[in-house]
Amino acid sequence: MELLHAGVDCSVIALWLGNESVETTQVYLHAHLALKEAALAKVKSSNGNPLGRYRAGDKLLEFLTAL
């Protein structure tokens, strides 16, 4: 992840790790929450406003807790 944050291309990281393909390396990228948050922070709604972080409502949290 440090290499990715430093701007090293995914294909180079895959080669260094000895992965069979770049797709194998992508599995690790999907798990990195900081990268996801950075990407989501750049997304804007259709009216041009930032979307912000989703916050579940109390009813949803109560339902999930009851599971």
Domain assignments of the chain as residue spans, ordered by start: 2-66
Question: Within the chain, which residues score under 50 in pLDDT?
Answer: none
Average pLDDT, the chain: 81
Q: What integer pLDDT is reported at residue 58 of this predicted model?
A: 92
Record the tokens describing residue 15, joined without a space: 């080669």
- Beta-carbon-side half-sphere exposure of residue 36 (alpha carbons within 13 Å): 8
Check residue 13 and give its pLDDT. Answer: 87
State the pLDDT at residue 59. 93
